[in-house]
Amino acid sequence: MKNRLKVLRAERGWSQQDLAERLEVSRQSVNAIETGKYDPSLPLAFRIAELFDMRIEDIFQKG
């Protein structure tokens, strides 16, 4: 699954660790999601969308 997480995080000047702390996950989880090695659970996807004030569909795309 493709996603815009790295771009959105960079736009805010956050490190992977910063984002991980905000989402209450590990930095490794953020890295795995950004690189497409791991798809977040639905609850985590909702937390990500809420944090960035966006719809899940605007952050994550199939393909």
Domain count, the chain: 1
- Residue 34 in any domain: the answer is yes
- Residue 63 in any domain: the answer is no
Structural domain range at position 17: 2-58
- Residue 22 in any domain: the answer is yes
Rounded distance between C-alpha atoms, residue 54 and residue 48, angstroms = 8
Scanning the structure block, which residue is given the tokens 């985590």? 44
- Which are the contacts of 56, defined by CB distance < 8 A and separation ≥ 6? 45, 46, 48, 49
CB 5 within 8 A of CB 34: yes
- Residue 32 in any domain: the answer is yes
- Residue 7 in any domain: the answer is yes
- Residue 36 in any domain: the answer is yes
Distances in whole angstroms, Cα of residue 17 to Cα of each of 55, 58, 63: 23, 22, 27
- Residue 19 in any domain: the answer is yes
What's the pLDDT tens digit per position in 2-55?
999 999 999 999 999 999 999 999 999 999 999 999 999 999 999 999 999 999
Scanning the structure block, which residue is given the tokens 């990500």? 48
pTM for the full model? 0.92
**CATH number where 14 lies:** 1.10.260.40
